[in-house]
Structure 1
């Protein structure tokens, strides 16, 4: 396996907790709010599970059937899968990867708009950011109440920190435009 994708790492992390079938994995991704950091489609999840099994990073342990539902294969992580997950995680924790934000590009080209138009757009962004931050906090509180351990929620804290920083900067830009400290030359 060339490299472990974020979805692959997600699957391995969940399987490290306990053996599961892909449908359970999908439920866990939703319940733990991991779908906010990794894009998960039905097809991508099943493809990832198959790819991990072919690479012997996971292995099927049983096939179960509940009622009239189709058979479901339960997978567990292998020692090689756990080792690769550890290695990939160590790499990700120390790698600074440039992120190409469309908002950053918009800020760089904001002078194409009239100051009043830019300010109105930034004010709207503040409303949207505040709403997203509130929704994120609600989601965080919900998973905490379910008993999710804090270590499983650090990515949500990271996302909230980015939202707060974005909101603070955007509010500051609105004030700077309104007060004339940021003007178009």
Structure 2
């Protein structure tokens, strides 16, 4: 049984559904439509993905050409099998829930390994980064809309903006709870990572 299409492979197939193109043009379009906000893309990974799709018969070569001293360029098109595989994978992604384990969730699970004041400083740092990230995503989204990119091609960016906004408000709430004593763990029993002498130091500070 073939492995499910990776997000990058799905990106390649989606672009080729618009018409034949070579990998360099794909890179340009990925930046143009901000697909790199939704899919991790590197130069090498893109070419490897194209090679794998061709080997599976999901895309095929249309022509190979060379312009002067530039490297040889191969133009690809999507096959019927590739179009069907892309549609099937997209339906799975949209309808199925995939359990994810974000690193921030891991940090929150083990938050009491650090003193409350240190956690507070970490959260202030995260808050600043989230504010910067949200502003950047919102600016990029607004810019693409002004350029005439249809909203349905920017839904992934809408989701990123909303995720940033929700996490930002959550972190603000945690900071407020820590500052006003509604969240604390200073009176917990000592652990191997937070020995008794560290806890005493907090109580005396």
**TM-score interval for Structure 1 and Structure 2 normalised by the shorter chain:** over 0.9
- Find the counterpart in structure 2 of residue 160 from structure 1: 161
**What's the secondary structure of 1:17's corresponding residue?**
coil
- More moved, 9-18 vs 137-146: 137-146
- Find the counterpart in structure 1 of residue 199 from structure 2: none
- More moved, 48-57 vs 61-70: 61-70
Give the TM-score normalised by structure 1: 0.94
By how many angstroms is 1:120 displaced? 1.4
- Find the counterpart in structure 2 of residue 117 from structure 1: 118
* Alpha-carbon distance in structure 1 between the residues aligned to 2:76 and 2:147: 24
1:55-134 to structure 2, matched below 5 A, reads: 55-134=56-135
1:137-152 to structure 2, matched below 5 A, reads: 137-152=138-153
By how many angstroms is 1:71 displaced? 2.1
Question: Which structure 1 residue ranges, 5 or more long, are not aligned?
Answer: none
* Alpha-carbon distance in structure 1 between the residues aligned to 2:63 and 2:110: 56
* Residue correspondences, number: 185
* Alpha-carbon distance in structure 1 between the residues aligned to 2:158 and 2:61: 34
By how many angstroms is 1:38 displaced? 1.7
Aligned-pair RMSD on alpha carbons? 1.3
- Find the counterpart in structure 1 of residue 45 from structure 2: 44
By how many angstroms is 1:27 displaced? 1.1
Question: Which structure 2 residue ranges, 5 or more long, are not aligned?
Answer: 188-205
**What's the secondary structure of 2:62's corresponding residue?**
strand
- Find the counterpart in structure 2 of residue 172 from structure 1: 173
Instruction: Tell whether 2:27 aligns with 1:21.
Output: no
* Alpha-carbon distance in structure 1 between the residues aligned to 2:46 and 2:114: 42
1:114-153, Cα deviation, whole Å (9 max, x unpaired) = 2111111111111100100011112112222332221111
- Find the counterpart in structure 1 of residue 32 from structure 2: 31
**What's the secondary structure of 2:106's corresponding residue?**
helix
Give the TM-score normalised by structure 2: 0.86
* Alpha-carbon distance in structure 2 between the residues aligned to 1:141 and 1:148: 10
- More moved, 44-53 vs 80-89: 44-53
**What's the secondary structure of 2:17's corresponding residue?**
helix
